[in-house]
Amino acid sequence: MKLYNLKNNSEKVNFETAVKLGLGQQQGLFFPVDLPIIPPSELSKILKMDFITRSTEILSKFISNEISKEVLHKHVKKAFSFAKPLKVDINKKISCFELFHGPTLAFKDFGARFMAQMILAFSKENESFTILTATSGDTGAAVAHAFYGMKNIRVIILYPKGKISTLQEQLFCTLGKNIKTISINGSFDDCQKLVKKAFDDKKLKELIGLNSANSINISRLLAQICYYFEAFSLLSEEQRKKLVIAVPCGNFGNLTAGLLAKSLGLPIKSFIACTNANDTVPRFLNNGKWDPQKTVSTISNAMDISRPNNWTRIKELFRRKKWNLKKLRFGSVSDDITKESIKELFQLNYVSEPHAAIAYRLLYDQLKKDEFGLFLGTAHPSKFKNTVEKILKKEISLPPELKKWNSLPLLSYNINPDFNKLKEFLLEK
Ligand SMILES: *Cc1c(COP(=O)(O)O)cnc(C)c1O
């Protein structure tokens, strides 16, 4: 697969390089030169396959020239070696597609674990990497667990201090070994800026073999395409005809993957880009002005991002496919309405959490008469135990995966959002 840098189209790399670099020159994101298409006859065959075989087929559309199908199959099997996503019906017209049955209970496990497999597939003996990534909550855990204990790989995770849930923090700041965590006195956008700055520092980048596991890494997006096909395969013929998918958006990686699935030929009628009060994209789609405001903290903290990285990829995909951005549905939901929506879902016998609840709200409000809707369940409710318990006045039990980490001491360092401080850390620790 060839990819070009969205900031400097003359920089072209193959998939291996894109995975290893993460970002291109001038912090540009990589985007595929060719957008493969699965013809309808092949699509119906693919939809009947099991999750691993189908995912291998889909991924090989992009990368079979660099990794053979047989080898890819092995890696996909390892990456997705946890419980499959689950469709849970809320009512006749709406289902939740739960993506949180992986080891760290959020959809980020798909991307992070596939990326770890790709790094493994491409790394030469004695080649060492520093994975530097910023997290608004769930990426940290997924990446930390995906790379934990891997030889020649050091993982450094930045997160905004006090702005992620206790359980989120517990899940990745207690691991130790090759996983280092730094809490930053600032917002997620501050963390993301620091990561981008590090990538701009050519000397540093070479010195420590810098890589990023953010959703800016193309391997993560490719992995996420696969579960949209799984969702589709679980629907009836009738439901498939008028499918609308509501995606809770932060950095817009998940939505990018969904749109890539559509570009491959999966006939999804419409997407809803769902945000919380950090509504840069909804405002842009409303009035055409890109005007990020200061990030505000909400109860759906993994979506507290006002400068979403992947938006440039979405714009490029619409341009390349000659799709109309006006057809992308969108909306933003306040904390108060989010809470009400969690209660509403509970009345329908479903325990949810703030991120999915935002997607449910907008799906419910925007779904037309003859349409069928899926909203993505991006994290297990127990990851937001305190918030959900306060809203529902009901105890949420912890799955065993979380209990284990609960009592361990946090090993994080703490710094101000100061690039020189980060650089010192990268060179010393
Ligand atoms: C990361 C995350 C999101 C946002 O996903 P993006 O791909 O960054 O848009 C939404 N919900 C949860 C629970 C997340 O962890």
Average pLDDT per consecutive 10 residues, the chain (429 residues; last block may be shorter): 96 95 88 98 97 98 97 97 93 97 93 94 88 87 93 94 89 95 94 90 88 80 98 97 97 97 98 98 97 95 93 98 97 98 97 98 97 97 92 89 82 96 92
pLDDT attached to residue 129: 87
Q: Whose CA is nearest to atom 1 of ligand 1?
A: 302
Predicted confidence (pLDDT) per residue in 10-51, tens digit: 999 999 999 988 888 888 999 999 999 999 999 999 999 999
Cβ count near 42 (within 10 Å): 13
- For the packed helices 108-122 and 138-147, what is the interaxial angle rounded to 10 degrees? 30
Residue 341 lies in a domain: yes
- Specify the ligand 1 atom closest to the Cα of 256: 7
Q: Is residue 17 part of a domain?
A: no
Closest-CA residue, ligand 1 atom 4, reads 250
Pocket of ligand 1 (CB under 6 A): 106, 108, 137-138, 215, 248-254, 302-303, 355, 378-379
pLDDT in tens, 320-340: 999 999 999 999 999 999 999
Counting atoms of ligand 1 from 1, which one is nearest the CA of 249?
9
Looking up tokens 């003859």, which residue turns up?
Answer: 370
314 domain-assigned? yes
Integer Cα distance of 340 and 134 in angstroms: 30
Which CATH number fits the domain that encloses residue 292? 3.40.50.1100
Atom of ligand 1 nearest to the CA of 248: 10
What is the distance in A from the centroid of ligand 1 to the CA of 203?
Answer: 32
Closest CA to ligand 1's atom 8: 251
CA of 305 to the centre of ligand 1 (A): 10
Residue 259 covered by a domain: yes
CB-CB contact of 149 with 183 (8 Å)? no
Query: What's the gap in Å between 207 CA and the centre of ligand 1?
Result: 31
| Residue type, position 84, single letter | K
Of 278, 103, 283, 134, the C-alpha closest to 197 is: 134
Note the pLDDT of residue 354.
98
Q: Is residue 72 part of a domain?
A: no
Cα–ligand 1 centroid distance for 247 (angstroms): 9
User: How many other C-beta atoms are found inside a 10 Å radius of the C-beta of residue 285?
Assistant: 16
Residue 298: inside a domain? yes
pLDDT at 257: 98
320 within some domain? yes
Q: Is residue 64 part of a domain?
A: no
- Domain carrying residue 337: 84-104+218-397
Question: Of all protein residues, whose CA lies closest to atom 2 belonging to ligand 1?
Answer: 302
Task: With H, G, I as helix, E, B as strand and everything else as coil, classify residue 26.
Answer: helix
CA 127 / ligand 1 centre spacing (Å) = 31
Ligand 1 center–CA 151 separation, angstroms: 28
Full-model pTM: 0.93
Atom of ligand 1 nearest to the CA of 355: 11
Task: Check residue 213 and give its pLDDT.
Answer: 65
Kindly give the distance from the C-alpha atom of residue 108 to the centroid of ligand 1, in angstroms, as a whole number: 8
Structurally, how many domains does the chain consist of? 1
